[in-house]
Amino acid sequence: MTIVSVVLGVSLGFGLRPLNLSAETLQLINFPGEIFMQVLKMMILPLIFSSLISALAQMDAKESGQMGLATVLYYLTTTVLATLLGIFLVMTIHPGDPSIKAGSLHDVPVDTDVSPLDTFLDLVRNMFPENIIQATFERVQTTYVAQRPRITKNSSDDVIIMKKAISTTRGMNILGIIVFCTGFGIVISQLGERARIVVDFFVILDAVIMRWVETLMWFAPLGITCLVCGNLLELDDLSDTASVLLLYVFTVIAGLILHTVITCPILYFLITRKNPMFIVRGMMQAIVTAFGTASGGAALPMSMQCMEDNCHVDRRITRFVLPLGSTINMDGNALYEAVAVIFIAQLNNVDLSFAEVVTVSVTATIASIGLGSVPAGLVSILLILNTVGLPVKDVSLLLTVDWLLDRVRTSINVLGDGFAAGVVAHLLQKRLVVSDARNDFRTEIKEEIELLKSAANSRRPSFAWSEHSKEVYFNALATNADSRIQSRIQSRSGSIANFNLHWRNALLEPGYAPLNKVQDV
């Protein structure tokens, strides 16, 4: 139904364009899609809180650290590969023609003083917000403010100084929320049974949010149809845009497609030795949702549902990898920004040196990560143009086709998150199986202790456990513990070659736990 809604929206958009509908009619057409987008974005914050904390709270700190490291390394690798692919294509196809500049009717007055260092520092600042409540609706951003000096020499001209200022801008600081939830979940996992009530709360909250999202998805066809149709009706003359920027659009889309059908699948296959089409088919509904909404955050609930239900990826993986990917994994943006900057250089007959091309690639990678949560790619492109000293007035040309490219690159970003979740799940598969077996065995021991205590108390209320009786009981458990855990692991993974049994230390250290305090076992 999601695919049908996109096709229907495109058909209605082109079919209604000749009617020249009024602004009020366009507003009514957009209204269902606008409400759908608002409700989807409303679910992002509770979904990230509940899913991240519930997933990490059920893993130990070592597993969480390995998962985080594997995720960041994979995202960084694919972003660099996407940037290099975009640079290669734009320099090979050479879509920039100086005659195209005649089609630019207006400039974009945007401050371009922000440097790559400012972007990186803003990224780190947003990772550690000073107020977690404020992070739900504001994020830090470096700006430059024009000021007159207090003391100046005699001059007929006004002297203006651009002063750097750390300010806030509206928008959810998703990266800071992810860092907070990650630390919160890891600490809960280390508290063990003492935090069981908190873990159960977030697990139930996560189930409630996902059930709500599943209900909301029934309205996706109507919302996506209205969004796509309204967007097409609001565009200016499409024929002029297509004739002027056709080769540029072709270069960007070709790069995005190549990254999707070659780079990511090959990387996925080399790591997992599995068919990448399994991920593509499973994520199809999330990809179409991302295309229809042009928002990776809005598609996040659908991405989680697709990876867990269709691709059978462990929810502990999806609840960490996918929210993080919606913030820092911007392969499509990195490729798009690299192509756009070199395209503008070609428009102005500027031959970039090798060092400048390297600067473009590095800056595009940093900007796609640091400004990943900023809507559209205009700010990132202006940042890169300023870094290599190219004129920014030609950016207005790119805005005429950004409505299409934004949807395509958002879809690519969402699919890239799916591949990342599949890779991380493969790398941590054995460790998760071992963790599940260990947790199951601990649960069984606690149940056996409870039963033994109940039986002893019912027969002899004054019965007291001596240290000798505790030792005898735990030694009895130890005689068959290895075989019980090994059989459970063999039934799940088929291999125990790399498994180390440290369960005795986990259960008994330091000393034997008192049986009248079972929660400490």
pLDDT digits (tens, 9 = 90+) for 157-192: 566 676 777 888 887 887 888 889 888 988 888 887
Decide which of 21 and 461 is more confident: 21
Average pLDDT, the chain: 76
pTM for the whole structure: 0.68
CB 369 within 8 Å of CB 326? no
Contacts of 451 (CB under 8 A, 6+ apart): none
CA-nearest of 391, 376, 382 to 364 is 382
Torsion of CA 503, 505, 507, 510, to 10 degrees: 180
Task: Tell me the pLDDT tens digit for each residue of 382-410.
Answer: 777 776 777 777 776 777 777 788 889 88
CA-nearest of 22, 51, 77 to 305 is 51
Decide which of 107 and 414 is more confident: 414
Task: Tell me the pLDDT tens digit for each residue of 495-505.
Answer: 444 434 444 44
Contacts of residues 383-387 at CB distance under 8 Å and 24 or more positions apart, as own/partner, are 383/112, 383/114, 383/115, 383/116, 383/119, 384/337, 384/341, 384/360, 385/112, 385/341, 385/344, 386/112, 386/113, 386/114, 386/115, 387/115, 387/116, 387/359, 387/360, 387/363
pLDDT (0 to 100) of residue 368? 75
In this predicted structure, the answer to whether residue 111 has a pLDDT above a threshold of 50 is no
Instruction: Using the structure block, give the residue that is written with the tokens 């690299």.
Output: 338
pLDDT (0 to 100) of residue 153? 59
145: confidence class by pLDDT, cuts 50, 70, 90? confident
In this predicted structure, the answer to whether residue 60 has a pLDDT above a threshold of 80 is no
By percentage, how much of the chain surpasses pLDDT 90? 16
Map out the domains of the chain as residue ranges: 2-427, 431-520
What is the fold of 2-427? Proton glutamate symport protein (1.10.3860)
Nearest-angstrom CA–CA distance, 96 and 107: 18
CB 417 within 8 Å of CB 290? no
